A and B are shown apart, each in its own frame.
Chain A
Amino acid sequence: METGIRIFLLKAGLVLFSISLLSSPVLAAEKTDEADEPLEQVIEPEIDRRDVKPPKIDAQDFEISLFAGIMSVEDFGSNFVYGARVGYHVTEKLFIEGSYGITDTSETSFEILSGAATILKNDERELTYWNFSFGYHILPGEAFWGKNHAFNNSLYLTAGAGNTQFAGDDFFTWSFGFGYRVLLVDSIALHLDFKDHLYDNDILGPEKTSHNLEGTLGLSYYF
């Protein structure tokens, strides 16, 4: 314990010392450079600088959505899934989002066939996941409803990483997917999402990568 702290503090001290060595001459050099530059301006402009404040315009870059659908958890059946998602649109093409979802899983075929044997306790059957993803609108466009209505829509791809809590354990999870978005009005959109959540686990004995497919329908609000 004692030696560990001492080594740690020594390391920290060494790094701090090297910073002070590195940064001080750099800063000093910059200051002298500035002093050498001619400061006098030949012509003094006689214009009052007007303070232009950037106008405050209602921005809709954030998106919050609720979704529900079906999630198939490998070996544990397909069940109802629901959750929420928050997104931030960085550009017209790129966005980031954080998702959280909950689903109950059913019994494995082994548990059903054997009758009595159970692999998981009741409170371990619920699966929750969260992930952060990057999204990219690959095919933005307009869809037409009859002659007089046009809706902006888009097909997008997502990729991200997160965590799955299931069977009493946490699993690092990659998730890949695609989705389709239709803007009903400027601030409300309908989403159809498909995602594959991949994680390594040994719940049923040998270690394997399980694929957990999820299809959901969601409604989102831009603000």
Chain B
Amino acid sequence: MLILLLQILFTGLAQGARQLIEVRVADPYLELHTGPGEGYPVFYVVERDDTITILKRKTNWYKVRTNRDKEGWVPREQLERTLLTTSDTPVEFRDTSGEDYPGRRWEVGILNGDFGGADMLTIYGAYNFTENFSTELALSQATGRFSDSYLADINLTYMFVPEWRITPFFKLGTGVILTEPKSTLIATEDRTDQTAHVGGGISAYITRRFVFRAEYNNYVVFTSRDDNEEVDEWKLGFAFFF
């Protein structure tokens, strides 16, 4: 009974996961490469009006099976000139481009830079409410000569002209900083303080899902001592959007 149930479940899953589509070649011919890359040799050619099944995708390359059971890899540009066998409409194989950038929802990035003299690495995730406004959650680690710090920040970012390829932005946020003095120093205690930051930078669309980003932030650390600490932060890095 259990085996039967499992079987039903697995066949169901397999069918659900695979939506194989069949297309008809509209070009004079379609070349099949041995691997998913431009260097791999062409080993088979499919003629016009033959049908092929699309099996899977790796980056810009699609694995297809011909009706003679040959399997090979085809670049996206060639598949754009094929028709769906069911409706004779061209298959839409779109590549992510700069047009998708302003309307993106999610962005994930890695930045590397300087936090008041310490080396800093940041991972951030951003959610865009509108083309202009987004909120970012960032986790950073700064390793300095005398202390290491961990930062968690949340901020609101405003993109000035999102439809530009290179667009400036402004941000305002708050967070916490955990500071651990180096163990080679005389024992001092770890401390956690609240921070606020204001900053700005530029975000530049490069290609596909890639974005380059450079930013400056001015941090104020609200310490328990008499004076607040001010820290300048510079960093640059890359991001992907979805």
Contacts and interface: CB of A to CB of B under 8 A. Distances in A.
A141 B141 contact: no
Given A60-B57, A161-B121, A92 B218 contact: no
Interface in B74-129: 89-94, 110, 112, 118-119, 121, 123
Contact of B183 (A56, A93, A96, A168): A168
Contacts of B19: 55-57
A61 B183 contact: no
A51 B118 CA distance: 53
Interface string A46-68: 00001011111111110000000
A54 B38 contact: no
A152 B55 CA distance: 18
B160 A142 contact: no
B228 A222 contact: no
B61 A92 contact: yes
Interface string B19-56: 10100000000000011111110000000000000111
Most buried by A among B91, B198, B218: B198
B44 to A, nearest CB: 14
A100 to B, nearest CB: 13
B143 A52 contact: no
Contacts of B234: none
A59 B182 CA distance: 45
A89 B39 contact: no
Contacts of A52: 89-90, 92
A88 B90 CA distance: 29
B143 A15 contact: no
A64 B60 CA distance: 20
B56 A58 contact: yes
A93 B40 CA distance: 13
Contact of B198 (A5, A12, A59, A60): A12
Interface residues of B, number: 60
A11 B35 contact: no
A2 to B, nearest CB: 9
A23 B57 CA distance: 42
Contact of B220 (A5, A61, A171, A203): A5
A22 B160 contact: yes
Interface string B172-216: 100000001011100000000000101010000000111000000
A90 B209 contact: yes
Nearest to A23: B160
Nearest to B120: A172
Contact of A4 (B91, B183, B228): B228
Nearest first, the 10 closest Cβ-Cβ pairs linking A and B are A4-B228, A172-B119, A168-B183, A172-B143, A170-B148, A58-B56, A152-B35, A8-B220, A59-B57, A52-B92
Given A3-B228, A171-B143, 14 more contacts: A1-B228, A16-B172, A22-B160, A52-B90, A54-B92, A57-B21, A57-B56, A58-B56, A59-B57, A92-B59, A132-B121, A169-B148, A170-B143, A172-B121
